[in-house]
Amino acid sequence: MKPTTFLSIVALLALGTAASAQDVRASSDPQKLLGTWKLISYVGQEVASGVETNVMGPRPSGYINYGPDGRMIVLIVGSDRKKPAGTVATQVEAQHLIRSMLAYAGTYTVDSETRTVTHHVEISGDQSRSGTDQVRTYTLTGDRLTLITQASNDPATGRKTVRTLVWERMK
């Protein structure tokens, strides 16, 4: 075998190995998102002022699930929710309960290169997200998943904010 042929084969094998390693890394992020995650914090930052607030109070509760079938669902409730006084919520109680909840479901896609997950929303609790694509930048650190929204109008306040949600993997 000529030395140039041998070097060409080695170079092709090295490129193939590097490409395979990159493909494995790229395909592993969607796998790492699979499962149920519990909400740890939900903070919004106003774009204009930089002011940060707890979007759903200091201790919101919530879960997000990414299924292997490409479907997702999220439910978040505020920390100051109270049960209705009676067996049926009054109009004021019902309004508060609806405003202190965020829920939607649909499909999702992951782009490992840009580190984004897009929620393709089919249904939502208040219809504000139905039919939209919600793009989130994600970071995976151990059993922590951080999702950061694009700058957009907060459905509750109407102010342009970036919202950061930190989730912990359920075991």
Q: What is the CATH number of the domain that holds 80?
A: 2.40.128.320
Is residue 82 located within the same domain as residue 161?
A: yes
Same domain assignment for residues 14 and 58: no
Same domain (yes/no): 23, 67: no
82 and 8 in a single domain? The answer is: no
155-171 pLDDT per residue, tens: 777 889 999 999 999 99
In a shared domain, residues 5 and 26: yes
**For the chain, how many residues are written?**
171
Percent of residues, the chain, with pLDDT higher than 70? 84
Residues 6+ apart with CB under 8 A from 151: 47, 160, 161, 162
Backbone φ and ψ for 69, nearest 5 degrees, come out as -85, 5
Q: Are 150 and 66 within one domain? A: yes
List pLDDT tens digits, range 38-68: 999 999 999 999 999 999 999 999 999 999 9
Helix-strand-coil split of the chain, %, nearest 5: 25, 45, 30
Average the pLDDT over each of 4-8, 19-23, 78-82, 135-139 and give the range with the smallest value: 19-23
